[in-house]
Structure 1
Amino acid sequence: MKAVIFDLDGTLIDSAPDIHAAANAVLQGEGLPLVTFAQSRSFVGRGARVFVERMEHAVTGGNDPARTDHLHKRFLHFYERAHENTRIYPGVVDVLEGLRASGFALGLCTNKPLGPTRAVLAHLGWEKLFAVVIGGDSLPVAKPDPAPLMAVVTGLGLTLSQITYIGDSETDSETAARAGARFGLFTEGYRQTAPEDMYHQFRFDDYRALPDHLKDQAA
């Protein structure tokens, strides 16, 4: 069997509007300045804790551990319920169904905490879509440490040579590079670096092109 392992935010779904709303709900409740959508989007990628640290620093000019802990807890409260404006990228549903029909196993490796990850998967009707799901708090370390990706590979009962990892960000690219995994870069996500400066074996901006990139793996 072969498998495709996906990142979630910025790769399969555009959740940036809901993440922005959750961030500002927290800040408003604390009487702190709000962040712009562009700021919030730039904070995504290294997990909820780092997101909150970046948000806190942007609005207060620094980080205080006790305040960070409090903001993090409040953010997770809103984050787990933030689905209203999340959208699946065009073509994703058909491609995922096609991959499963073609005999690919599907895995998910995200820095989104497992609680919000399970919540959004349930919201989308994807509870049973992925054979293995690893969130940002499933292990003591998160991406770009390669351990979460390797945990998905191991959970699928496969080896690195049998999988392709699909992501959108610098974090995903670095994770794949450190693991030595084949990486496909979805260029319409949350990256801030030019694609040519990021580790990848192929890149695409339309999910309809992904199956062609996986043909060699399916052979």
Structure 2
Amino acid sequence: MASIIFDLDGTLVDSAPDIHAAVNLMLAEEGAAPMDLAQVCGFIGNGVPVLVQRVMQAHSWPAEDHPRLLSRFMTHYDAAPAELTRLYPGVAAALDRLAAAGHRFALCTNKPAATSQSILRHLSIAGHFPVIIGGDSLPQRKPDPAPLKAAFNALGGLAGWYIGDSEVDAETAQAAGAPLVLFTLGYRKTPVEEIPHAARFDSFDQLPALLERLVAE
């Protein structure tokens, strides 16, 4: 049995369409032109406050507008956080198989914890995640190692792996001294070879066997 900690956005779920929609609703209220999906995708990974900050920088808006725009974004996003969000193919089956093997799961994400819980419920996988460490659970957010360490501690300190998709996840795992298993089809911005990882996969159909091998080693 091992602890398996998952990132959310770009790892378990493709949430970019809902984030993109909320950004454009916020922009429309400000009388600004919409942004395309690829550009918004590039802003995902460091949490909602940083996402909104990057949108503001793209429009040269003053820093003092951040609290207002952050609140406006969250109002739109929380109204429909899973309308367009989908599990990546094979996620549900992989979680069922890993749970049957006795592994324990937690979520470690920079998304707010309540929003994350809502998405997991909507996608019918909340029962797999008794522990959720969100971007608002601690004073620190990834890539600080504190959230990932808290997730492992909440599962009893069992040795395990962090499953993530991005440079932020790799930095977090390194800082926490945890091996990263990299999902290659998420929101990373650099080549796979440049992201430190212990193992990688491009389909959740591969994950149970991959982790079985890593546990055996």
Normalized against structure 1, the TM-score is what? 0.94
Provide the residue aligned with 2:207 in structure 1: 210
Q: Counterpart of 1:184?
A: 181
**2:72 paired residue number:** 74
RMSD over aligned CA atoms reads 1.2
Moved more, 77-86 or 189-198: 77-86
- Secondary structure (helix, strand or coil) at the match of 1:207 reads coil
Match of 2:47 in 1: 47
Match in the other structure for 1:152: 151
- For 2:211, the aligned partner's letter is L
Q: Distance in 1 between matches of 2:211 and 2:128?
A: 19
Contact 1:141 1:148 in 2 (8 A): yes
SS in 2 for 1:78: helix
CA contact (8 A) 1:11 1:166 kept: yes
Amino acid at match of 2:151: V
Specify the alignment match of 1:195 in structure 2.
192
Q: How do residues 70-219 of structure 1 correspond to structure 2 at under 5 angstroms?
A: 70-80=68-78, 81-159=80-158, 162-219=159-216
Superposed displacement of residue 125, structure 1? 2.0
Matched, 1:3 2:10: no
Question: 1:138, CA displacement in angstroms?
Answer: 0.7
State the SS of the aligned residue for 1:164. Answer: strand
Identity over aligned pairs, percent: 48
Contact 1:2-1:218 within 8 A present in 2 as well: yes
CA distance in 2, matches of 1:188, 1:169: 10
SS in 2 for 1:21: helix
Residues 53, 63 of structure 1: 8 Å contact kept: no
Structure 1 stretches of 4+ moved >6 Å = none
Q: Distance in 2 between matches of 1:82 and 1:130?
A: 18
Distance in structure 2 (CA, Å) of the matches to 1:71 and 1:126: 31
Q: Evaluate the alpha carbon distance shift between residue 93 and residue 52 of structure 1 in structure 2; reply closer, same or farther with a 3 A threshold.
A: same
Structure 1: stretches of 5+ with no match in the other structure:
none
Deviates more, 1:205-214 or 1:2-11: 205-214
CA distance in 1 between counterparts of 2:62 and 2:155 reads 39
With normalisation by structure 2, the TM-score equals: 0.95
- Runs of at least 5 residues in structure 2 that lack an aligned partner in the other structure: none
The answer as to whether partners of 1:131 and 1:156 remain within 8 angstroms in 2 is no
Aligned residues: 215
Deviations 1:121-147 (A, max 9, x none): 121122321121100111001000010
